[in-house]
Amino acid sequence: MIEPAAISPDARLYLRPEGFVDTPVGRDGEVARIAGGLLWFSAYELIAVAGGARVVQASVPVPSLPGLIANLPASQTDRLRLLAERISAPRAPLSLGVRTIRLDQPQVMGILNLTPDSFSDGGRHDDSAGAAQAGYDMAAAGAALIDVGGESTRPGAQSVWEGDEIARLVPVIERLAASGTAISIDTRKAAVMDAALAAGAGLVNDVAALAWDDRAAGVAARAGCPVVLMHSPDPAKGPHAGEGYRDVLVEVFDWLEARIDAVVAAGVARDRILIDPGIGFAKSLADNLALLNGLALFHGLGCGIVLGTSRKRMIGALSNEAPVDQRLGGSVALALHGAGLGAQLLRVHDVAETVQALRIWRGLKDAGLMSRRS
């Protein structure tokens, strides 16, 4: 057990759930729950950072945390209590038009790119009827919502004029909305957000965390819609701008925490904010792996987690440079990894396969939750 004296009073503290268990049955007081969902854990990894470096990294059993907290300075006491509360607090369901999406279990967000140059599926959906049909098919296969985008975010992609982006998106969104499909709009432009929300989208998914367009936060605040804030180091320069990290997990957490505070100050309710660590955006393979392994740290932000790893370059890097159209196995593996660490929304291209994998995962979790210890 770590001694409070080992933690310098100026250190910034973090908690990451660890020691996951199959069931809380018979373990009252020994385990805590993640975000009101299906996962329970028996310990926190306590990370203390001072002078830009980790000075403490230790495991604290769940029942031992209150004793540790009671012996720390007031600012650190408040910090750890807040983190623990946010880790366990249920996430509010998302209301998107006529649909409500629960965040107490992992859900699939289907990717519908209406672009000629997206890295995986560019040019596949070049007419509104065909694109809408692809969205219907993903919803029928089990996607909780469809993420519609009209501008590629691959490295080197050209920016799209907002008028062209709107023209691509609105006819498809209108068709999907008319069918009762839940829709998110993947854009960083305020005018596109406005048009998409008016056409029937219910959530804004912004790779620039509402920081690329200075009007974007105001659009989201006025609409009262949920938003996804994705991490990228320098949103004003594009999602792939950045200069590297000393401790990517902690730095991305801090960036997102600051960005959440800024968006709340702009008028967006905190319970309508979700976060995305931005896998593959201005990050090396080692960075991406560190974020994925440490993903549970982000529950300390108190927001739902969106994870987008589908068909990404890291899968090729880890599997003999498999081309984009041969990354299904890796995509499903990463989706299940995210579900196992509590991610609430999994953004994927291959909806049917991911939904099936999650149903098996859910069956295993349900069996564990219903088990009894002898």
- The DSSP bridge pattern shows strands 107-113 and 99-101 to be unpaired
Q: Is 365 a catalytic residue?
A: no
> Is 81 a catalytic site residue?
no
Q: Which of 347, 362, 372, 373 is catalytic?
A: 347
Helices 328-340 and 351-369 pack at an angle, to 10 degrees, of 30
Catalytic residue among 16, 189, 311, 312: 312
Looking at the DSSP bridge assignments, the partners of residue 186 are 149, 205
Residues belonging to the chain: 374
Residues labelled catalytic: 312, 347
